[in-house]
Structure 1
Amino acid sequence: MQRRRGRLVKTAGVVAGCVLVLTGGGAAWAYWHLDHNIRGVDIDSTLGDDRPPKPAPATPEPSATAPPAGALNILVLGSDSRSGSKNSALGGGHSEGARSDTAMVVHLNADRSAATVVSIPRDTLVERPACPTSFGGSTQAAYGAMFNSAYSVGGPVCAVKTVEKLTGVRMDHYLEIDFSGFASVVDALGGVNLTTTEGIDDDLSHLQLDAGYHHLDGKQALAFARTRHGVGDGSDLGRIKLQQQLVKALVAEVSGSDLLTDPARLYKVADALTGSLTTDTGLDSLGELQGLAGSLKGLSADEVKTVMMPVLPAPSDPNRVVADEPEAGKLWASLR
């Protein structure tokens, strides 16, 4: 899945464009509908001060509709939640088994002229800290835990806290999209074009592709993002390469589409995107997303760099990985 770049961050520009083109009697309802599509989680209040320090802003805090000031780090998750009939049809299983199927830290530099997207392998063994819950309790701390277990035991709050523990980097914002939402966004865009260098035959993701050029619909794009067993060495690291390829293809699709001249299509994309989003409370309104999206107008696809956190096979399990230090630490330090 899965921003990467941000798949989500780049596509979020659609929201700003939709606001600009909605006119006439239905504009107020359309704005209300898109605004209320978005689900918010109060991560800042729940985590409190037990976090990496937040750099002091160079300028006063922006208003809800003004472009955010300074560099930003955004945790983008692709959730494998199976809640709802659409998600169930695409993934199977039950909502209580949801995990962060894809995790990326999107770093936007201060003037929004460049972005770095760092993929975190879900099979990384990490120290999962104790995380506060919305009920006033706490999850259990764990050592040598799978990275993606943080979301399953503590939701977005624990996912953010675990990433901050791993990286030492304060996450300014959180964005999450689920199975059906990702597929719907791709379908609303009209599909995505990419070229595979080798054939894919994965019975688990139900994707079969010959090597060569392909136009993928939403269901196929989701399967491409989830494929690991039918291509390469079958590892999560191989899947990340496919996800990064898909990110670039989606960035190119959004950048090359003249959505602003097609209000109906633009609204369809915006509706699919906002209807699938869970964000922190700093981005859970259309105006706040519009402010972020507006700040990205000068960001070109060529200035979006995709990398993976340096990892090594875990000594305790060759099927798992651990952060490769000091290289991983140097990468995260560059994003602070």
Structure 2
Amino acid sequence: MSAESTTGPRRGSKGHRRKPRDRRPGGKGLKVMAWTAAGVVLLGGTGAGYLYFKLNGNLESVDIDQALGTDRPEKADNGSENILVLGSDTRAGGNEELGGGADDGSARSDTAMIVHVYEGHQKAVVVSIPRDTLIDRPECTDTEGGTHPAASGVMFNSAYSTGGAACAVKTVESITDLRMDHYLEIDFTGFQKLIDDLGGVEVTTTEHIKDPDSHLDLSAGTHRLDGEQALGLVRTRHGVGDGSDLGRIQLQQAFLKALMRQVEEVGVFTDPKKLYDLADSATKAVTTDSGLGSVNALMSFANGMKGIGPSQTHMVTMPVQYDPADLNRVLPLTDKAQLIWDALKNDEPIPKRATEDTAAGEAKGVVNTA
């Protein structure tokens, strides 16, 4: 275990928790959602205008900037961008059939990733934040104007369940001192349908993965996962490694790279029906910040990322160590994490020492990303 200093979260009050407004969440496959949603407008023909307005009508957006006001980190002036990508375990909108979520119907951020797109938009780094990280959550205002008090020593994913997207962004910005330029979120049902419309995603497992809780049973070998299997893979905890959230993050990162490869190979622009099905599913599944809340905005955003593929994407996890008081929780290694945040702020590569000697979840090698 590293001797790095950690944050000192106190087991204090978790504050008043208010169930966020039922919205369609979104967050895995950043590029596929923006690209397919935007691509339909390029199809031409007499139906293009109708399709454009239909897809615009599918989109949900939240005004993060208005909710958070001016008390935020400064926007970077080096041409880079930071996008907070969330996957939520809300049980609304049919997700109750897929498991997860709180019994009271509230939502939590099951997956959280900061996507940093470097200047020139030719490469990116993805930093996963473990949902079980104990942090000090700042006071925040949600998108409906409700104020939620600060809380110490609470799980990271409580930010979303407390105050929705705006509080999740506020918490990430408090931890990192990085401005989140955009926000994307996807829900269980939307993710599952998106994978099915794509025709599945191929992965190679080097170990048998079996988890009754996520309805997943994969022998070692190559598989083309349908939507239900893909969702089980990115959500499984007990089927790999030490059963921690850290092992699940490794699977999520591996799957995201496989998804990016699949999008490159499938050639959706040569198949108008497939393109429309993907765009329709993607725009129904995602919630974005208001800056991405139109097909035009998504098209511009996707075009700016078209040069970034799996080989240009580096993936890491925020440095943490297991909490000695509760091994089901982790504590940030603040000195190492600061190396990551400084690198992103300066639009530089993450130094290797930032991710050495940290808790990893013991799931490496379960999915082959080569």
TM over 0.5: yes
Which residue does the alignment assign to 1:239? 248
Query: Secondary structure at 2:162's aligned position in 1?
Result: helix
Q: 1:89 aligns with which of 86, 97, 109?
A: 97
CA-to-partner distance for each residue in 1:288-334, whole Å, 9 max, x for gaps? 00001011122232101111111111243222111112111110111
Name the aligned partner's letter for residue 90 of structure 1: L
CA distance in 1, matches of 2:250, 2:80: 26
CA distance in 2, matches of 1:330, 1:321: 18
Query: Secondary structure at 1:307's aligned position in 2?
Result: strand
Stretch deviating more after TM superposition (24-33 or 162-171): 24-33
Does the 8 Å contact 2:113/2:126 carry over to 1? yes
CA distance in 2, matches of 1:3, 1:134: 19
CA-to-partner distance for each residue in 1:119-172, whole Å, 9 max, x for gaps? 000000011111113443311211111000110010000000011111111100
Which residue does the alignment assign to 1:265? 274
Does the 8 Å contact 1:82/1:92 carry over to 2? yes
Which residue does the alignment assign to 1:19? 41
Name the aligned partner's letter for residue 219 of structure 1: E
Q: Within 5 A, what are the aligned runs for 1:225-236?
A: 225-236=234-245
Which residue does the alignment assign to 2:314? 305
Distance 1:243 1:92, change over 3 A: closer
CA-to-partner distance for each residue in 1:45-97, whole Å, 9 max, x for gaps? 110011111134x6xxxxxxxxxxx2110000001111122x12212656742
Q: Within 5 A, what are the aligned runs for 1:51-66?
A: 51-56=72-77
Q: 1:33 aligns with which of 54, 66, 70?
A: 54
Query: Secondary structure at 2:213's aligned position in 1?
Result: coil
- Alpha-carbon shift at residue 206 of structure 1 (Å): 1.1
Which residue does the alignment assign to 1:331? 340
Unaligned runs of 5+ in 1: 59-69
CA distance in 2, matches of 1:124, 1:312: 9
Does the 8 Å contact 1:104/1:119 carry over to 2? yes
Name the aligned partner's letter for residue 31 of structure 1: Y
CA distance in 2, matches of 1:95, 1:181: 21
CA-to-partner distance for each residue in 1:14-62, whole Å, 9 max, x for gaps? 22322211x2222111111111111110000110011111134x6xxxx
Which residue does the alignment assign to 2:188? 179
Name the aligned partner's letter for residue 27 of structure 1: A
- Alpha-carbon shift at residue 10 of structure 1 (Å): 4.2
CA distance in 1, matches of 2:309, 2:239: 32
CA distance in 1, matches of 2:26, 2:205: 18
CA distance in 2, matches of 1:2, 1:34: 16
Which residue does the alignment assign to 2:360? none
**Within the alignment, does 1:48 sit opposite 2:56 as a pair?**
no
Distance 1:10 1:307, change over 3 A: farther
Query: Secondary structure at 1:50's aligned position in 2?
Result: coil
Does the 8 Å contact 2:107/2:161 carry over to 1? yes
- Alpha-carbon shift at residue 98 of structure 1 (Å): 0.8
Which residue does the alignment assign to 1:115? 124
Q: 1:201 aligns with which of 199, 206, 210?
A: 210
Distance 1:296 1:137, change over 3 A: closer
Runs of 4+ in 1 over 6 A off after TM superposition: none
Would you say how many aligned residue pairs link Structure 1 and Structure 2?
320
**Identity of paired residues, percent?**
53
Which residue does the alignment assign to 2:325? 316
Which residue does the alignment assign to 1:67? none
Q: 2:80 aligns with which of 26, 49, 71?
A: 71
CA distance in 1, matches of 2:71, 2:325: 30
Does the 8 Å contact 1:3/1:10 carry over to 2? no
TM-score (norm: length of structure 1): 0.91
Distance 1:92 1:74, change over 3 A: closer
CA-to-partner distance for each residue in 1:226-261, whole Å, 9 max, x for gaps? 001011111100000110110011000001111110
Does the 8 Å contact 2:66/2:143 carry over to 1? no
Name the aligned partner's letter for residue 172 of structure 1: D
CA distance in 1, matches of 2:301, 2:166: 21
CA distance in 2, matches of 1:310, 1:96: 31
Name the aligned partner's letter for residue 87 of structure 2: G
Unaligned runs of 5+ in 2: 1-24, 346-370
- Alpha-carbon shift at residue 197 of structure 1 (Å): 1.1
Distance 1:92 1:225, change over 3 A: closer
CA distance in 1, matches of 2:323, 2:225: 35
CA distance in 1, matches of 2:104, 2:327: 29
Distance 1:256 1:2, change over 3 A: farther
TM-score (norm: length of structure 2): 0.83
Which residue does the alignment assign to 1:62? none
